[in-house]
């Protein structure tokens, strides 16, 4: 359809009006009959415009948010501060300046409730925002459930995921400070793709360390990054001291996000004209993602729905936070009372099996110590999901609210996740990325429970991206070669042995 229909489709969640129009073969002729005889108009454009107007009227088209929401402002108990890895004292702004531009350092420690989104960032957001909120009616029918299932779909971005929501502002703030080069890591490739896209828009060099398992399994993510101008290395690499040390111990290392972070941070710290960007975990990253939840609140209000259960997958936590944090604000204000559920893989269960402790964000111990749910900074996960949801720690702010009891967490094995993904793809049409298959599986569980109880709950889930570059994972499921991997208690204890002891 015409590009002018994208905002309407993004804002629309009720498709009944459009369905009725499609069911009437003579609908287009009916609209053609309303053309003024003396006007030479394109009847197809006119017809589509009327459909668009009808959709917008039904859904009260939402605008792109102009502010990011900072959950820290509304927490009576503030999260513990990050600590300097050598002094174990709270990190000061000057400690972070080798890695981040000044404005992002301010946002990381901010207690302001709302932070204005720069106009230039909003302008780029408008390429794909607002994103669609869609009711999964055909999935509901397949499950024969009285529940109503909605998903907020972030796969319409140029990179195919939610990651550009933070890549764009991070690169913009770096550009404002005159930074010439940005380095980062990527696991599944979605973050690296998004940062490469953003750097291309602002003419900044981009260098990415991609976890080796993902680098090998997902060549098209690498090619996407290179198409946007990025230089991509498999991690561990021979370029950095960290990579060389890992390869000396294990030449066949599949890599990890912790290792890739260490490599990128090493390069940034050694070069004055280079900064580092992170795609999840940190407060300012979660802050930028709240455009998802802010839009979703307005979209649900427009159709008179209130979520009873909010579900999102969690690796580092950015997509989950982006959807959930604005709803937690509404819950704290007593407006709504949804159950908020994070879902992680059984092979990398940082929330459900990790410890809440200070730990490094990377394998080499170069980053500040953060209080988070962790499996240990030298944790090497199994190469599941083509690289997704495999970070050793959970975002400190998510870990904190989990400790406060504002949310719950469960772990689901990957075969169940992909079973749900196949059900979703064959009813809703979208092929999910491996990461949101966890949210889908949890939503299916909840919907089937509603079938048993007769409850007509409203289930809202975060659909953080498409799986067009993840088809080898689907191939394993369809061929019956996919296996469920868990993280047994003995490996938990082994992994946690090197977590630093901080009083």
Highest mean predicted confidence (pLDDT) among 75-79, 257-261, 344-348: 75-79
Q: Which residue has the higher pLDDT, 88 or 384?
A: 88
Per-residue confidence band for 493, with pLDDT thresholds at 50, 70 and 90 = confident
Dihedral of alpha carbons 119, 169, 157, 133, sign: negative
Contact 35, 41 (CB under 8 A): yes
Nearest residue to 64 via CA among 7, 143, 25, 134: 7
Q: Which residue has the higher pLDDT, 177 or 3?
A: 177
Residue 27 pLDDT = 38
Distance CA(473)–CA(238), nearest Å, equals 28
- Does the pLDDT of residue 21 top 50, yes or no? no
Dihedral of alpha carbons 135, 140, 142, 143, sign: positive
Per-residue confidence band for 362, with pLDDT thresholds at 50, 70 and 90 = confident
SS3 46: helix
309-313: strand order across its sheet: 133-135, 148-153, 458-463, 309-313, 339-345, 408-412
Per-residue confidence band for 385, with pLDDT thresholds at 50, 70 and 90 = low
Quick one: 142 exposed, middle or buried, by C-beta within 10 A (0-12, 13-18, 19+)?
A: middle
* Helix (H) or strand (E) run with residue 232 in it: strand 231-235
CA 168 from chain centre, in angstroms, equals: 14
Residue 439 pLDDT = 97
Tens-digit pLDDT profile for residues 123-145 = 999 999 999 999 999 999 999 99
Residue 378 pLDDT = 77
SS3 104: helix
Instruction: Give the residue carrying structure tokens 């996960």.
Output: 381
Residue 350 in tokens: 């940082």
Same fold, 67-72+108-161+282-487 and 163-276: yes
Q: Which residue has the higher pLDDT, 21 or 345?
A: 345
Contact 308, 339 (CB under 8 A): yes
Nearest residue to 286 via CA among 377, 382, 162, 404: 162
Residue 384 pLDDT = 56
Residue 488 pLDDT = 74
SS3 381: coil
392 phi, psi to nearest 5 deg: -75, -20
Residue 317 pLDDT = 93
Nearest residue to 35 via CA among 51, 48, 46: 46
SS3 150: strand
Sketch the domain layout of the chain as residue ranges.
Answer: 67-72+108-161+282-487, 163-276
Residue 389 pLDDT = 58
Residue 323 pLDDT = 98
Contact 371, 400 (CB under 8 A): yes
* Domain boundaries 67-72+108-161+282-487, corresponding CATH code: 3.40.50.1100
Task: Kindly give the pairing relationship between strand 133-135 and strand 408-412.
Answer: unpaired
Residue 394 pLDDT = 94
Other Cβ atoms less than 10 A from the Cβ of 406: the count is: 17
Per-residue confidence band for 43, with pLDDT thresholds at 50, 70 and 90 = very low
- Does the pLDDT of residue 255 top 60, yes or no? yes
Residue 59 pLDDT = 39
Dihedral of alpha carbons 313, 317, 322, 328, sign: positive
State the average pLDDT over residues 244-249: 95
Other Cβ atoms less than 10 A from the Cβ of 445: the count is: 17
- Report the percentage of the chain scoring pLDDT > 90: 71
* Domain boundaries 163-276, corresponding CATH code: 3.40.50.1100
Contact 443, 457 (CB under 8 A): no
Residue 19 pLDDT = 37
- Does the pLDDT of residue 415 top 90, yes or no? yes
- Does the pLDDT of residue 316 top 60, yes or no? yes
Per-residue confidence band for 382, with pLDDT thresholds at 50, 70 and 90 = low
- Does the pLDDT of residue 45 top 50, yes or no? no
State the average pLDDT over residues 92-106: 94
Average pLDDT, the chain: 87
- Does the pLDDT of residue 15 top 50, yes or no? no
Tens-digit pLDDT profile for residues 268-303 = 999 989 999 999 999 999 999 999 999 999 999 999
Residue 174 pLDDT = 97
Distance CA(476)–CA(170), nearest Å, equals 36
- Does the pLDDT of residue 4 top 70, yes or no? no
What is this structure's pTM? 0.85
């Amino acid at each position: 359809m015409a590009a002018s229909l994208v905002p309407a489709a993004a804002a629309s969640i009720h498709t009944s009006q459009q369905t009725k129009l499609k069911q009437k073969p003579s609908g287009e002729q009916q609209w053609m009959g309303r053309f003024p005889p003396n006007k030479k108009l394109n009847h197809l454009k006119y017809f589509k415009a009327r459909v668009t107007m009808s959709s917008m009227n039904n859904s009260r088209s939402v605008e792109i948010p102009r502010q990011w929401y900072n959950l820290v402002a509304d927490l009576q108990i503030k999260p513990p501060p990050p600590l300097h890895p050598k002094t174990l004292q709270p990190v000061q702004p000057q400690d972070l300046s080798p890695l981040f531009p000044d404005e992002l350092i301010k946002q990381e420690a901010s207690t302001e409730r709302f932070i204005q989104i720069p106009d230039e960032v909003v302008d780029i957001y408008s390429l794909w925002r607002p994103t669609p909120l869609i009711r999964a009616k055909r999935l509901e029918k397949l499950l024969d459930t009285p529940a109503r299932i909605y998903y907020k779909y972030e796969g319409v971005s140029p990179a195919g995921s939610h990651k550009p929501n933070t890549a764009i502002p991070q690169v913009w703030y770096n550009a404002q400070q005159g930074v010439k080069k940005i380095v980062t890591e990527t696991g599944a490739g979605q973050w690296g793709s998004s940062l490469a896209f953003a750097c291309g828009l602002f003419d900044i060099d981009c260098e990415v360390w991609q976890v080796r398992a993902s680098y090998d399994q997902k060549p098209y993510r690498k090619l996407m990054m290179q198409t946007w101008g990025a230089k991509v290395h498999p991690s561990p690499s021979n370029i950095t001291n960290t990579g060389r040390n890992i390869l000396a111990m294990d030449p066949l290392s599949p890599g990890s996000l912790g290792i890739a972070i260490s490599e990128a941070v090493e390069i940034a710290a050694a070069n004055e004209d280079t900064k580092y960007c992170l795609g999840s975990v940190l407060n300012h990253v979660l802050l930028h993602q709240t455009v998802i939840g802010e839009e979703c609140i307005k979209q649900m209000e427009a159709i008179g729905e209130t979520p009873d259960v909010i579900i999102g997958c969690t690796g580092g936590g950015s997509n989950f936070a982006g959807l959930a944090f604005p709803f937690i604000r509404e819950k704290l204000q007593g407006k709504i009372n949804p159950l908020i559920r994070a879902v992680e893989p059984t092979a990398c269960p940082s929330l459900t099996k990790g410890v809440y402790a200070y730990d490094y964000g990377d394998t080499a111990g170069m980053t500040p110590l953060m209080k988070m749910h962790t499996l240990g900074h030298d944790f090497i996960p199994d190469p599941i999901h083509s690289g997704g949801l495999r970070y050793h720690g959970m975002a400190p702010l998510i870990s904190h609210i989990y400790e406060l009891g504002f949310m719950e967490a469960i772990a689901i094995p990957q075969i169940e996740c992909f079973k749900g993904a196949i059900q979703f793809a064959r009813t809703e049409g979208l092929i999910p990325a491996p990461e949101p298959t966890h949210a889908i599986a949890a939503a299916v569980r909840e919907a089937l429970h509603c079938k048993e109880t007769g409850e007509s709950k409203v289930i809202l889930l975060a659909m953080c991206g498409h799986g067009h570059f993840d088809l080898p994972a689907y191939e394993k499921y369809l061929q019956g070669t996919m296996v469920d991997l868990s993280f047994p208690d003995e490996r938990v204890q082994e992994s946690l042995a090197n977590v630093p002891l901080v009083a």
